Structure 1
Amino acid sequence: MKILTWNIQRPKKAKRLILDKLAQYNADIVVLTETNIIITPGKEYNAIATESLPKGHDGIAYQAGENRTTIWTKYKIVLQHKTYDAFTSVCAQIETPDGLLNVYATIIGVFGGMGERFKSDLGNQLLDFEKLSHENSLCIVGDLNVTFSGRAYPSHDARNKLNNAFEKGNLKNLTSEIENNVDQIVLSKDFIKNKKVTLETWNHDKQLSDHIGICLTLS
């Protein structure tokens, strides 16, 4: 199984290099953040997304077709869980070969890791994580705007709060050792038990977007 996440920095057109990179990794679950309906990984994928963003939402001049988070998957989507903010986070229960998996795809802090909006997003999403950790296996994935190694961004407090939530929910952050990286893939420990985890990253020169892309393989 492959799980991919990438913040593609609000593309205004279907960038061929982005689509080529998605095709190259051919992941089973793809989470794109700061995305647009013009970016589609292929006809073999089902999709569930946050609400389309009206121009001026949160004071941002969004263009037609933009949304914050989309889950694309080759697997069957069984149902959608409600999240605290339908414009920012989306959660789908997905039927994988290894059992049901709740995929919570999100951005924490739509203006980055600073300010009251980040604190509000973090607090509310921690409540979402707690509720969902009691139902089936859980994957938290997307732009968390928090680093877990290297420089502590935005703060040690934010890092500690998320680490405590992951521990409480029996979750493991599988991308925590990628230095100065804010995009994360977190999975229930039971779901990854006895599996080999491999990580691949790209866009280190930040030419395709201002974030690296990450693909995790479970084998």
Structure 2
Amino acid sequence: MKILTWNLERLQKKRNETILKIIESHHADILILTETSSKINPGKSYQSIETETLEGDYDGIAYKLGENRTTIWTKYPIKRQMETFDKHTTVCAQLETESWQLTVYGTIIGVFGGKGDRFISDFEKQIKDFEKLEGNICIAGDFNIMLSGFAYPSHQARNQLNDIIQKLDLNCPTSKLENNVGHILLSNNFINNRKMELSIWNQDKKLSDHIGICLSIE
């Protein structure tokens, strides 16, 4: 299984084709894309579930036609959509994989970054969402929290995330990537001591201001 996440930093026409080619090259089974758009479509082998399309100046941001904050693309059947606290930012679906059901929660924590009241509010409400998830879970997207290196946005936010990882018995294979705010969290029961390998790209931040991450689980 391959799980990919990438914040695309709101699309520009000149980047779309390059971004799509990179995404397609990883042949991921599950994609969690943030700050994305209906113009990024990996093809007919995927189903999708996404947050509400953004219009006009929602949240004071001049969104372009077709933009949305989070989309889950999957090659696995979507059994049902789960309710989240914010239909414009977070999305959750229960998938049927080869051997397990997996609940995937796609997110941006703090749409204006890791500072300010909006981040604190988003994080508090999403923690409540996380605690409601049942069975094997995957939480992925733009957390706006670094778990290694500089403690962005704060040691408190880092500690809060580490606490929820421990409380929900999750594994964070992206935790040792320095200066990285995008993460993939998975239930330890789902991983079950299987081999995991990360691949990353866009380290120069030319295509977006986030690196892309793909997790392979054997």
User: TM-score of the superposition, structure 2-length normalised?
Assistant: 0.98
**Partner residue, 2:136:** 137
**Structural RMSD (CA):** 0.8
**How many angstroms apart in 2 are the aligned matches of 1:181 and 1:62?**
25
DSSP-derived class of the 1:72 partner: strand
Quote how far apart the aligned CAs of 1:65 are.
Answer: 0.3
**Partner residue, 1:182:** 181
One-letter amino acid matched to 2:166: E
**How many angstroms apart in 2 are the aligned matches of 1:194 and 1:144?**
25
How far does the alpha carbon of each residue in 1:14-47 deviate from its partner, in whole angstroms, 9 at most, with x for none? 7111011011101000010000000011110000
1:41-190 residue pairs with structure 2 within 5 A?
Answer: 41-132=42-133, 135-190=134-189
Q: Structure 1 residue runs of 4+, over 3 Å off?
A: none
Quote how far apart the aligned CAs of 1:55 are.
Answer: 1.1
Q: Does 1:195 align with 2:194?
A: yes
> Is 1:98–1:191's contact at 8 Å kept on the other side of the alignment?
no
Quote how far apart the aligned CAs of 1:208 are.
Answer: 1.0
> Is 1:198–1:218's contact at 8 Å kept on the other side of the alignment?
yes
Tell me the number of residue pairs that the alignment of Structure 1 and Structure 2 aligns: 217
**Partner residue, 1:8:** 8
**Partner residue, 1:206:** 205
* Percentage of identical aligned residues: 57
Please, which runs of 5 or more residues in structure 2 have no aligned partner? none
User: TM-score of the superposition, structure 1-length normalised?
Assistant: 0.98
Quote how far apart the aligned CAs of 1:136 are.
Answer: 1.3
How far does the alpha carbon of each residue in 1:121-143 deviate from its partner, in whole angstroms, 9 at most, with x for none? 000000000111xx110100000
**How many angstroms apart in 2 are the aligned matches of 1:194 and 1:165?**
20
**Partner residue, 1:23:** 24
**How many angstroms apart in 2 are the aligned matches of 1:107 and 1:144?**
6
Quote how far apart the aligned CAs of 1:211 are.
Answer: 0.6
> Is 1:19–1:40's contact at 8 Å kept on the other side of the alignment?
yes
> Is 1:33–1:68's contact at 8 Å kept on the other side of the alignment?
yes
DSSP-derived class of the 1:15 partner: helix
Quote how far apart the aligned CAs of 1:12 are.
Answer: 3.3
Greater shift, 11-20 or 205-214, is seen at 11-20
> Is 1:46–1:73's contact at 8 Å kept on the other side of the alignment?
yes
